[in-house]
Amino acid sequence: MLYRFLALSGFLLFAGTYAFATADSAAIDGKAFVKHIQVLASDEFEGRKPGTVGEEKTVQYLKSEFQKMGLKPGNGKSYFQDVPMVTIASRPAGPLVLKGQNGTVSLTNLTDFVATTPHVQDQVKITDSELVFVGYGIVAPEYNWNDYAGLDVKGKTVVVMVNDPGLIDSTLFKGNTMTYYGRWTYKYEEAARQGAAGVLIVHESKAASYGWSVIRSSFSKSKLYLQTADGNRSKAVMEGWITLDAAKNLFKLSGVSPELFREAGTRGFKAVPLGITTSLVITNQITKSTSRNVLALLPGTDRRNEYIIYSSHWDHLGKGEAIKGDSIYNGASDNASGTAALLELAETFVKLKKKPSRSILFLAVTAEEQGLLGSEYYATHPVFPLNKTVANINMDAFHPVGRTKDVVIVGRGQSDLEDYAAAAASKQGRTIRGDFNPSAGSYFRSDHFNFAKVGVPALYLKTGVNSVKNGEAWGRAQLEEYNLNRYHAPSDEYSSSWDLSGILEDMQLLFDVGYRLSNESTFPGWKPGSEFKAVREKGPAKK
Nearest Cα to Cα of residue 490 among 313, 312, 314, 317:
317
Q: How far apart are CA 95 and CA 349, in angstroms?
A: 57
| Residue 73, phi-psi category: left (phi > 0), alpha (psi -120 to 50), beta (remainder) | beta
Nearest Cα to Cα of residue 99 among 362, 266, 275:
275
**pLDDT tens column, 152-204:** 999 999 999 999 999 999 999 999 899 999 999 999 999 999 999 999 999 99
% pLDDT > 70, the chain: 94
Are the CB atoms for 50 and 290 separated by under 8 Å? no
**What's the pLDDT at 1?**
29
Q: Band of the pLDDT at 483, cuts 50, 70, 90? A: confident
Q: Band of the pLDDT at 21, cuts 50, 70, 90? A: very low
Torsion of CA 512, 404, 409, 168, to 10 degrees: 170
Answer yes or no: is pLDDT of 13 > 50. Answer: no
Q: Band of the pLDDT at 321, cuts 50, 70, 90? A: confident
| Residue 532, phi-psi category: left (phi > 0), alpha (psi -120 to 50), beta (remainder) | alpha
Peptide bond between residue 335 and the one before it cis (omega within 30 degrees of 0): yes
**pLDDT tens column, 93-106:** 999 999 999 899 99
Answer yes or no: is pLDDT of 495 > 90. Answer: yes
Spacing of C-alpha 362 from chain mean position: 18
Q: Band of the pLDDT at 217, cuts 50, 70, 90? A: confident
Q: Band of the pLDDT at 26, cuts 50, 70, 90? A: low
Average pLDDT, the chain: 92
Give bridge partners of residue 309 from the DSSP assignment.
Answer: 361, 392
Q: How far apart are CA 477 and CA 485, in angstroms?
A: 12
Give every CB contact of residue 136 below 8 A, 6+ residues apart in sequence: 147, 160, 161, 163, 164, 165, 181, 182, 264, 265
- What string of DSSP letters covers 305-323? EEEEEEEEE----EEEEEE
Q: How many helices (H) and strands (E) does the chain have?
A: 14, 25
Q: How far apart are CA 176 and CA 170, in angstroms?
A: 6
Helices (H), 290-447: 338-350, 373-380, 417-427
N-to-C CA span, the chain: 52
Q: What is the mean pLDDT of residues 120-128?
A: 96
In the DSSP assignment, the letter for residue 75 is B
Are the CB atoms for 42 and 312 separated by under 8 Å? no
| Backbone torsions φ then ψ of 429, nearest 5 degrees | 75, 25
Are the CB atoms for 409 and 459 separated by under 8 Å? yes
SS3 510: helix
The angle formed by the CA atoms of residues 400, 402 and 404, to the nearest 5 degrees, is 120
**What's the pLDDT at 191?**
98
Q: Band of the pLDDT at 540, cuts 50, 70, 90? A: low
Q: How far apart are CA 146 and CA 161, in angstroms?
A: 14
Nearest Cα to Cα of residue 50 among 367, 321, 334:
367
